[in-house]
Copies of this chain bind each other. A is one copy, B any other.
Amino acid sequence: MTDPETLPIVRTVHHLRAMVYAWRREGQRVALVPTMGALHDGHLGLIRLAKRQADRVVASVFVNPTQFAPHEDFETYPRSEASDAAALTQEGCDLLYAPSADAMYGPGFATTVSVQGVSSPLDGLARPHFFGGVATVVAKLLIQCAPDMAIFGEKDYQQLQVIKRMAADLDLPVRIIGAPTARAEDGLALSSRNAYLTPDQRQIAGMLNKIMAAAAEMVAEGGWVQTAETEGQAALLAAGFEKIDYFEFRDSFDLRRLGPDRADGVPRLFAAVWLGKTRLIDNRGL
């Protein structure tokens, strides 16, 4: 058992590797759970899954500046290392890796890892900076930590597919595991950005999952994708969502648009919607 008083925190690759390599030399299997902090029960579910799959669990907390555009919420993104560390300790996490931006991006840093195809639609269109920043920082974290496995939430489903593609293409010796989305009682996907919502907005937000479920059911029962998307978008606006970046079905593996008969893939529904200055994303299978 990990002593709940002593969750070690390391801030450099050197110290991270000293811990992880020692575990691996003893034959222990190591899981990495990369996060941007502001941990909620969705993150802690990833830690619990990691505990079941590995002997040692490393959580990383790094709010990655390169995946935010200048107008996005990098400065205001919630940061709460002390309470994050307390929650991780509670769950039996073995190590917190919390590097500074300077440690991650040293002087003259000039390298980008990019993934074509799966990065292009959806958030790739809505947030052109995003996946280049994500693929690069996750490649770095996986190389820095060299875990046996790394766990990511399916809430960021496109990100998960980008990371799976990147890790396979770069031959990283790591298993990428997707974990089901954790949800509030009304079905809202847990997200650090939910903290931005006013009580009124929070109530509207709970409708997103219900409207998505209805659209997915319509398609599962043979309804037209186009109709389900149009009706879902209308329902979102009627519920009080102010802007829709996307609400569309795509293939669950490579995120291509599917043909009308959907025989060429496995459909999954993806949505990104706005309430005030807060952007919410979600996705679900049929």
Contact = CB atoms under 8 A, between A and B. Distances in A.
Interface of A: 13, 17, 106, 108-118, 135, 139-140, 143-144, 165-166, 168-173, 254
A1 to B, nearest CB: 29
Nearest to A112: B114
Contacts of A109: 169
B170 A140 contact: yes
30 contacts: A13-B171, A106-B168, A106-B169, A108-B117, A108-B165, A109-B169, A110-B115, A110-B118, A110-B165, A111-B113, A111-B116, A111-B135, A111-B165, A111-B166, A111-B170, A112-B113, A112-B114, A112-B115, A112-B116, A113-B113, A113-B170, A114-B114, A139-B170, A140-B169, A140-B170, A140-B171, A143-B170, A143-B171, A143-B172, A143-B173
Contact of A110 (B106, B110, B140, B169): B169
- Taking chain A's interface residues, is the majority helix, strand, or loop, or is none over half, making it mixed? mixed
Given A108-B165, A109-B169, 12 more contacts: A106-B168, A110-B116, A111-B113, A111-B116, A111-B166, A112-B113, A112-B114, A114-B114, A140-B171, A143-B172, A143-B173, A144-B171
